[in-house]
Amino acid sequence: MADKKRLGKTDLYVNPIGLGTNAVGGHNIYPNLIEETGKDVVRTAIDNGINFLDTAYIYGPERSEELIGEVIKEKGNRSEIVIATKGAHKFVGGKIVLDNSPAFLREAVENSLKRLQTDYIDLFYIHFPDEGTPKAEAVGALKELKDAGKIKAIGVSNFSIEQLKEANKDGYVDVLQSEYNLFNREVEKEILPYTKDHNISFVPYYPLAAGLLGGRYTKETTFNDGRAKNPLFQGEAFVRNLEKVEQVREIANAKNAEVAHVVLAWYLTRDSVDALIPGAKRPEQVTNNLKTLEIQLTNEEIEKISRIFQE
């Protein structure tokens, strides 16, 4: 099994391949999910050495946390698992609004603790910034919860560089989670240098760009979901993007690996990217994701992949 990586300045050590669980009980994201299959996904992850589980209130809502709590209680190995969850969303008059106020964050943490059936959360993220709450004030509330033993580490998610700097004014931020993939490298400009300089771990989401970087699509593939409106999947752009993926396939074939494994391994060569949280809808996808850890990229291969996707 892979050497564990430390998250930022914390005492949390994780397998570099974690598990994103929006397909575990995330009925509002994926229709027709079978909850027992979702629980099997979590069991398979834990049984195969994955100790970093990423969830959120809004996955379900609430249901993902509940299912993970059930599995961890059943397994009886809470101290070996690093649970990350997120809060910021609430329903007001049937509509979802964002709230980062200290009072709301305290309530969100207490509610997550109940759903997860645990007395502490390893990593709690502010899921999205709201418009009104000063970022350092929101993080300050999490610092109080950390001091009280309710959480062990503080994360923020989807924060711009300006918001991140404000949130980290007192040096309390341990982890940042944001979108990052080979088609969207915006965070490389300012965010990754900042996280490196301030010993903040960066956890990317959307690493395979809705499957485009998984290497399983062809020019003939059609989509009838959200991808149909995604610019990456449209017309000539889609064809050019597939050509880039095929160049990565040459590297993957030489290693007897899949494109997705090579792409995920590339992220782990980036400064401050200490862990990945690819999702899975079926148990076999969990064990397949772990094959990423067998990939060793040379400096030449790392540079080549970077060049392929340089716009």
- Residues in contact with 97: Cβ distance below 8 Å, sequence separation at least 6, in sequence order: 89, 90, 91, 130
What is the spatial distance between Cα 259 and Cα 268, in angstroms, rounded to a whole number?
15
Task: Find the helix packing angle between 299-308 and 259-267, rounded to 10°.
Answer: 100
Q: Which of 59, 125, 205, 267 is catalytic?
A: 59
For the chain, what's the residue count?
A: 311
Q: Are 125 and 155 within 8 A, CB to CB?
A: yes
Cα 297 to Cα 248, 254, 310: the distances in Å are 12, 11, 18
> What element of type H or E holds 94?
none
Token pair for residue 50? 């994955």
Amino acid at 173: V
Cα 270 to Cα 18, 80, 104, 299, 301: the distances in Å are 17, 26, 34, 12, 13
Active site residue 59: yes
Nearest to 107 by CA among 89, 84, 92, 133: 89
Active-site residue numbers?
59
